[in-house]
Chains A and B, each alone.
Chain A
Amino acid sequence: EVQLVESGGGLVQPGGSLRLSCAASEFTFNDHYMDWVRQAPGKGLEWVGRTRNKANGYTTEYAASVKGRFTISRDESKNSLYLQMNSLKTEDTAVYFCARAWYSGAYYSDYWGQGTLVTVSS
């Protein structure tokens, strides 16, 4: 069974940094695009960004709200996905989910982790 387990969330002050991790198992990690999606408390889902697979050069896309502050990376040797978050703002407070993107004409997020909570507050 595909598993995605996020870690690294916590409390951070505005302007600070945090790195989230997502450990993947039971699928061929370097074949898949991977996404980060977040959800502020009591709010809807917001797509954060995506990294493409090895065949597509691990290139990335970001939401406008995080571009230039957040960086997605991956370590194939560890089957892990990362989200480096810098210059954090209070509005970045959310549960952050990683998701596997599966191809069927386009890439759809078919498996999700349980999420990790990031709180940005002084």
Chain B
Amino acid sequence: IQLTQSPSSLSASVGDRVTITCRASQGISNYLAWYQQKPGKAPKLLMYAASNLQIGVPSRFSGSGSGTDFTLTISSLQPEDFATYYCQQVNTYPLTFGGGTKVEIK
């Protein structure tokens, strides 16, 4: 299953609302995760089952979608949110990641 993320990069300011999309090449129900990765660090799980916030993740992050279309939204971008974001489907082996979305400072 291919996952297509868009955009591949974006520039935004602190306080902006940011939306990242992930489209699956076939239906995956809600078996989708979102990860945040900062340079030189391991990925961090943000969302699981498309819309469930992982413990400890700020509530400004939210996820939605089912089937083939998913979104990750950051309601008010904070300085620590500048990073690369990846979606991952866990519905079917082999598991796959999207290509990533780099969120940069405007």
Instruction: List the B side residues contacting A105 at CB < 8 Å.
Output: 30-31, 49
Could you tell me the distance between the alpha carbons of A97 and B45 in the complex, rounded to whole angstroms? 14
In the complex, how many residues of chain A place their beta carbon closer than 8 angstroms to a beta carbon of chain B?
Answer: 23
- Shortest CB-to-CB span from A78 to chain B, Å, is 22
Interface 9-mer from B14-22, B58-66, B85-93: B85-93
Chain A residues proximal to chain B, CB less than 8 Å: 35, 37, 44-47, 50, 61-64, 97, 104-110, 112-115
* Known A45-B97, A47-B88, A97-B43; contact A106-B54, beta-carbon cutoff 8 A: no
* Per-position binary interface string of chain B over residues 86-104, scored 1 when its CB falls under 8 Å from any chain A CB and 0 otherwise: 1010110111111110000
In the complex, how many residues of chain B place their beta carbon closer than 8 angstroms to a beta carbon of chain A?
Answer: 26
Could you tell me the distance between the alpha carbons of A63 and B92 in the complex, rounded to whole angstroms? 11
Could you tell me the distance between the alpha carbons of A108 and B54 in the complex, rounded to whole angstroms? 11
Do the beta carbons of A106 and B49 come within 8 Å of each other? yes
> Would you list 28 pairs from A and B whose C-beta atoms are within 8 A, ordered by A residue?
A35-B95, A37-B43, A44-B86, A44-B99, A45-B97, A45-B100, A47-B95, A47-B97, A50-B93, A61-B94, A61-B95, A62-B94, A63-B94, A97-B43, A104-B48, A105-B30, A105-B49, A108-B33, A108-B48, A108-B49, A109-B43, A109-B45, A110-B45, A110-B54, A112-B42, A113-B42, A114-B41, A115-B42
B2 CB within 8 Å of chain A = no
Interface of A is mostly: strand
Do the beta carbons of A112 and B96 come within 8 Å of each other? no
* Per-position binary interface string of chain B over residues 7-48, scored 1 when its CB falls under 8 Å from any chain A CB and 0 otherwise: 000000000000000000000001101010100011111001
Do the beta carbons of B54 and A107 come within 8 Å of each other? no
Could you tell me the distance between the alpha carbons of A115 and B39 in the complex, rounded to whole angstroms? 12
Could you tell me the distance between the alpha carbons of A108 and B97 in the complex, rounded to whole angstroms? 12
Do the beta carbons of B42 and A97 come within 8 Å of each other? yes
Do the beta carbons of A44 and B100 come within 8 Å of each other? yes
- Shortest CB-to-CB span from A29 to chain B, Å, is 19
